[in-house]
């Protein structure tokens, strides 16, 4: 291996030297951000050289490999530096063409062309060009080199050429403080590289991999491309043009890396994305060049399927296209391994279009029914990851239905859904996108085709979130078994039965029902609302009736699970409730709805458990109106005793008997301080922000890592440690759990940071930076 220093003229200016971008390199992908930085550096250098001609600017390292060299013709493969070398070539080509445009004589343009861009006496490609790009860039590159650029192309190469030509033209026409000759001189004679040349005995592919390990941002797909083409030998050119290049054109870089991971998960459901290269290489490293060619061909076929998953409009069968589009609209990436496996069965001829569409409908039904009952999403990615192994080509839909129906996967039955529609806080279930999509699908079922005009529609509460005096009076007409309008409101306000779609959300707001009804009649053509406007009032009975109406519609629309036995109405247990109630500070009270939201259960289930089980500090839980209306007391104490205990703790009451709202505790406002929900013996988070943190960890990490994190936090809290949770103010997808010693003033011990794509990072309070958790050994977590 040889190391030296050269300016750009020395790199490109030899009449016997050429540079090729090897097939394992990605196509040119720099954009205007990089163009602008390079232009600024060169312009500043040109100005500096006006007073100090010897000034130089270091532009990094070029790593070359002495490829197929013959006497007087040296061709080097560019292992590292292709983005910089290609960008500079576009700058020089633009300089040549601006010379031709603004100067009558062509000497300067010819000197540039013959000196650093082309070999004048060689007429054929690629020998004519001093730099030869990878296949995907060649047509635009040749056009630019031949002084006939295709300005309509959207390639990054043409974008670079246009950017620099515009800058250079402005430099000439505006007579700026730096001339085009200064730019040319600074570029060719002021930009210096360290040039590392690997020799024949050096493995160029190993160099490429080692560069990635020292900080270059190469994807797992980039590394696999390198591996394939290092082993394909004489098949390389044909494989690249027939299979790899088409695959690279139809998928983004991220999706190409994603494809290799998806295929890996079919056999290894524990695989993390960062494991892709290592585990794929382990699988294919013993294959012959011909067998590797077949592997690339197979991945190319799978890439067609992933493209259809991303763009369902490319699917030819209307029912399959509809099923794929609906899953895209719903927005859960963790279905990708399963859907790709399903489409692969059809591609191989083992299933039909009809069977594929039926299986997609089962997946949709499973996701919808889980959303309706607000099932915890911490296990969803694992459930979906393992589902591909259950596929049966004879009847994939029924095989999936059987798989989803077993082992408590929350594939809710019609009966459970019917109860959930009038009890579960649907307004906080899943994502806003998923909630609106589900309501849009209900509208579609009523209309009979794709509903129009829902793009700008938003979710509207019929009974408003704010209980106004008018609405309190309205609800008082029909309390049923409830003690107050506040209790009715708290129980039903966020349920699906009380939600609809409207394009006039801000106008409807907190208006009384009569005014809302009139606005919906006058301005809304949404079918979902016709049932609502047919009512004269909106009270408890109307909400229950609409729940029944929607439950029937849901049952007709989405396939139910196979009946394998009785289902539990509630998964809430005493330990969960006791742990959370114990964290309400003395001198504060919460409502049953507040508590239900934290433990992610229903108001009815919370009330039932509190009414039938002795729980310490239960007097701190009241109805939404600040009263102890619940008659059943498992400890036999009267409501007056509960009030006295609250008063002893400092809660103040109005003369009318209601606890003042100033003393109402907010779990949300204090989620990072006093609230530290505990975990049960199996490491499952029971409630609140820690549960959400662990749910996100399960979605983002390999199961082995998320399980280790769950167990570690369970142990930490069991030992009286505290956890503060925070969200990065600049990126809401970055979550941090700070571990503290026991006590309100405990010092920070450790930080655990969860990022959206780059895994789990740890830092002790003594360390200046985070370290990535090793997903294979989990040593970093053990060190905590």
| pLDDT tens for each residue of 446-493 | 987 666 678 888 899 999 999 999 999 999 999 998 989 999 999 999
Q: Is residue 368 scored above 70 in pLDDT?
A: yes
Tokens describing residue 470:
């008018």
Q: Write b or e for each residue in 560-595: b if 16 or more Cβ atoms lie within 10 A of its Cβ, otherwise e.
A: bbeeeeeeeeeebeeebbbbbbebbeeebbbbbbbb
Q: What is the mean pLDDT of residues 22-26?
A: 76
Judge contact between 703 and 682, C-beta under 8 A. no
pTM over 0.95: no
195, part of any domain: yes
What is the overall mean pLDDT for the chain? 84
**Residue 82 is part of which domain span?**
2-213
What pLDDT score was predicted for residue 376?
Answer: 80
- Say yes or no: 292 and 343 in one domain: no
Residues near 27 by Cβ (< 8 Å), separated by ≥ 6? Answer: 133, 134, 136, 137, 156, 248
Total tally of structural domains belonging to the chain: 6
- Say yes or no: 11 and 158 in one domain: yes
What pLDDT score was predicted for residue 67?
Answer: 60
Residues near 670 by Cβ (< 8 Å), separated by ≥ 6? Answer: none
> Considering 154, 181, 213, which residue would you say is the last residue of a domain?
213
Q: What is the mean pLDDT of residues 615-622?
A: 87
Q: What is the mean pLDDT of residues 17-34?
A: 86
What pLDDT score was predicted for residue 414?
Answer: 95
Chain centroid offset of residue 621 CA: 38
- Say yes or no: 111 and 28 in one domain: yes
- Say yes or no: 273 and 328 in one domain: no
- Say yes or no: 499 and 590 in one domain: no
- Say yes or no: 404 and 424 in one domain: no
What pLDDT score was predicted for residue 476?
Answer: 94
DSSP letter string, 249-279: HHS-HHHHHHHHHHHHHTT-TT--GGGHHHH
| DSSP secondary structure code for residue 293 in this structure | H
What pLDDT score was predicted for residue 745?
Answer: 46
**Ramachandran bin of 675, using left for φ above 0, alpha for ψ from -120 to 50, beta for the remaining angles:** beta
Nearest to 527 by CA among 600, 452, 477, 468: 452
671, part of any domain: no
C-alpha distances (whole Å) from 259 to each of 64, 303, 318, 610, 702 are: 30, 7, 24, 50, 17
What pLDDT score was predicted for residue 182?
Answer: 94
Residue percentage of the chain with pLDDT more than 70? 83
Could you report the per-residue pLDDT of 281-329, keeping only the tens digit for each? 999 999 999 999 999 999 999 999 999 999 999 999 999 999 999 999 9
What pLDDT score was predicted for residue 506?
Answer: 62
466, part of any domain: no
| Least confident range of 22-31, 229-238, 487-496, 536-545 | 22-31
Q: Write b or e for each residue in 476-514: b if 16 or more Cβ atoms lie within 10 A of its Cβ, otherwise e.
A: eebeeebbbbbbbbbbbbbbbbbbbbbbbeeebeebbbe
> Considering 198, 213, 228, which residue would you say is the last residue of a domain?
213
Q: Is residue 687 scored above 60 in pLDDT?
A: no
Q: How many residues does the chain have?
A: 784
Rounded Cα distance between 696 and 755, Å, is 10
300, part of any domain: yes
What pLDDT score was predicted for residue 684?
Answer: 39
Q: At what angle do helices 289-310 and 220-231 cross, to 10 degrees?
A: 150
Nearest to 223 by CA among 289, 280, 262, 286: 280
- Say yes or no: 425 and 444 in one domain: yes
Q: What is the mean pLDDT of residues 114-130?
A: 86
- Say yes or no: 33 and 134 in one domain: yes
Q: What is the mean pLDDT of residues 611-624?
A: 85
Check which CATH number belongs to the domain holding 652 and give it. 1.10.10.10
- Say yes or no: 355 and 423 in one domain: no
Q: How far apart are the first and last CA of the chain?
A: 43
Look at residue 120 and give its three-state secondary structure. coil
Could you report the per-residue pLDDT of 718-739, keeping only the tens digit for each? 676 777 777 665 555 577 888 7
179, part of any domain: yes
Residue given tokens 């729940």 in the structure block: 547
What pLDDT score was predicted for residue 594?
Answer: 83
- Say yes or no: 8 and 97 in one domain: yes
Could you report the per-residue pLDDT of 230-247, keeping only the tens digit for each? 888 888 889 998 999 899
Rounded Cα distance between 194 and 204, Å, is 18
Q: What is the mean pLDDT of residues 174-179?
A: 84
Confidence of residue 776 (pLDDT cuts 50, 70, 90): very low
DSSP letter string, 156-185: HHHHHHHHHHHHHHHHHHTT-SS-HHHHHH
464, part of any domain: no
DSSP letter string, 614-670: --TTGGGEE-TTS-------TT---HHHHHHHHHHHT--B-TTSPBPGGGB--TTTT
- Say yes or no: 606 and 542 in one domain: no
Chain centroid offset of residue 121 CA: 53
Rounded Cα distance between 479 and 459, Å, is 26
568, part of any domain: no
Residue given tokens 């694992």 in the structure block: 382
Strand partners, 664: 589
Could you report the per-residue pLDDT of 650-671, keeping only the tens digit for each? 999 988 888 998 888 877 555 4
What pLDDT score was predicted for residue 503?
Answer: 78
DSSP element (H, E) containing 597: helix 592-599
Rounded Cα distance between 617 and 587, Å, is 11
Instruction: For strands 760-764 and 748-754, give the pairing.
Output: antiparallel
Rounded Cα distance between 341 and 537, Å, is 50
The answer to whether the peptide bond before residue 654 is cis (omega within 30 degrees of 0) is: no
Q: Is residue 24 scored above 90 in pLDDT?
A: no
472, part of any domain: no
- Say yes or no: 7 and 96 in one domain: yes
| Least confident range of 201-215, 241-255, 277-291, 442-456 | 201-215
Residue bearing the bigger pLDDT, 510 or 508:
510
Look at residue 197 and give its three-state secondary structure. strand
> Considering 628, 663, 698, which residue would you say is the last residue of a domain?
663
What pLDDT score was predicted for residue 678?
Answer: 39
Confidence of residue 744 (pLDDT cuts 50, 70, 90): very low
Rounded Cα distance between 749 and 513, Å, is 53
């Amino acid at each position: 291996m040889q190391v030296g220093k050269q300016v750009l003229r020395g790199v490109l200016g030899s009449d016997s030297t050429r540079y090729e971008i090897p097939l394992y390199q990605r196509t040119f992908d720099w954009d205007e951000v990089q163009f602008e930085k390079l232009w600024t550096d060169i312009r500043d250098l040109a100005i500096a050289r006006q007073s100090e001609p010897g000034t130089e600017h270091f532009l990094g390292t070029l790593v070359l490999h002495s490829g197929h060299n013959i006497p007087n013709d040296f061709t080097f493969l560019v292992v590292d530096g292709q983005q910089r070398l290609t960008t500079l070539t576009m700058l020089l080509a633009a300089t040549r063409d601006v010379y031709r445009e603004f100067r009558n004589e062509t000497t300067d343009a010819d000197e540039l062309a013959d000196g650093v861009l082309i070999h004048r006496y060689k007429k054929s490609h690629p020998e004519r060009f001093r730099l030869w790009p990878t296949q995907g860039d060649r047509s635009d590159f040749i056009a630019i080199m031949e002084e006939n650029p295709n300005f309509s192309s959207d390639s990054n190469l043409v974008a670079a050429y246009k950017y620099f030509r515009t800058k250079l033209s402005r430099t000439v026409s505006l007579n700026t403080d730096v001339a085009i000759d200064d730019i040319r001189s600074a570029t060719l004679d002021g930009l210096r590289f360290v040039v590392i040349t690997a020799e024949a005995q050096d493995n160029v592919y190993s160099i490429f991999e080692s560069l990635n390990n020292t900080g270059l941002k190469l994807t797992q797909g980039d590394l696999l491309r390198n591996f394939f083409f290092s082993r394909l030998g004489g098949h390389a050119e044909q494989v690249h043009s027939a299979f790899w290049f088409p695959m690279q054109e139809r998928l983004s870089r991220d999706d190409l890396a994603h494809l290799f991971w998806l295929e890996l998960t079919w056999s290894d459901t524990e695989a993390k994305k960062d494991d892709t290269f290592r585990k794929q290489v382990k699988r294919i490293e013993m294959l012959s060049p011909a067998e590797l060619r077949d592997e690339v061909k197979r991945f190319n076929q799978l890439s067609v399927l992933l493209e259809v998953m991303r763009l369902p409009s490319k699917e030819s069968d209307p029912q399959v296209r509809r099923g794929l589009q609906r899953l895209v609209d719903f927005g859960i990436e963790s279905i990708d391994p399963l859907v790709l496996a399903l489409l692969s069965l059809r591609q191989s001829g083992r299933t039909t279009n009809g069977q594929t569409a039926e299986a997609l409908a089962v997946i949709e039904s499973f996701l919808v029914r889980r959303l309706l009952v607000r099932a915890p999403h911490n296990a969803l990615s694992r459930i979906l990851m393992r589902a591909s192994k259950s596929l049966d080509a004879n009847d994939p839909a029924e095989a999936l239905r059987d798989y989803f129906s077993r082992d408590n996967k929350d594939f809710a039955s019609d009966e459970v859904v019917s109860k959930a529609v009038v009890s579960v806080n649907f307004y906080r279930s899943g994502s806003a996108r998923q909630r609106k999509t589900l309501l849009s699908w209900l509208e579609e079922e009523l209309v009979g085709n794709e509903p129009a005009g829902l793009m700008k529609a938003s979710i509207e509460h019929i009974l408003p979130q704010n209980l106004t005096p008018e609405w309190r009076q309205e609800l008082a007409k029909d309390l049923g078994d409830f003690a107050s309008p506040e209790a009715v409101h708290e129980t039903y306000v966020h349920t699906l039965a009380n939600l609809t779609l409207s394009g006039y959300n801000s106008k409807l707001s907190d208006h009384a029902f009569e005014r809302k009804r009139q606005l919906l009649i006058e301005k809304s053509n949404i079918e979902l609302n016709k049932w609502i406007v047919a009512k004269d009032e909106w009270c408890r009975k109307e909400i229950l009736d609409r729940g029944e109406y929607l439950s029937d519609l849901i049952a007709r629309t989405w396939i139910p699970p196979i009946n394998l036995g009785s289902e539990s109405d509630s998964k809430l247990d005493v330990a969960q409730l006791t742990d959370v109630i114990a964290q309400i500070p003395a001198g504060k009270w919460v409502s049953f709805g507040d508590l239900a939201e934290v433990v992610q259960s229903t108001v009815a289930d919370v009330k039932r458990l509190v009414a039938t089980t002795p729980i310490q500090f239960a007097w701190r839980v009241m109805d939404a109106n600040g009263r102890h209306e619940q008659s059943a007391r498992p400890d036999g104490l009267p409501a007056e005793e509960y009030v006295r205990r609250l008063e002893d703790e400092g809660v103040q009451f109005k003369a009318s008997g209601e606890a003042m709202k100033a003393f109402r505790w907010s779990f949300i406002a204090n989620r990072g301080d006093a609230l530290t929900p505990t975990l049960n013996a199996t490491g499952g988070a029971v409630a609140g922000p820690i549960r959400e943190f662990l749910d996100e960890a399960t979605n983002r990490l390999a199961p082995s890592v998320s399980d280790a994190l769950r167990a570690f936090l369970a142990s930490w809290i069991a030992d009286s440690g505290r956890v503060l949770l925070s969200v990065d103010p600049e990126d809401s997808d970055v979550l941090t759990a700070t571990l503290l010693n026991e006590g309100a003033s405990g010092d920070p011990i450790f930080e655990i940071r969860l990022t959206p794509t780059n895994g789990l990072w740890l830092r002790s309070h003594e360390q200046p930076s985070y370290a990535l958790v090793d997903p294979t050994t989990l040593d970093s977590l053990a060190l905590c």
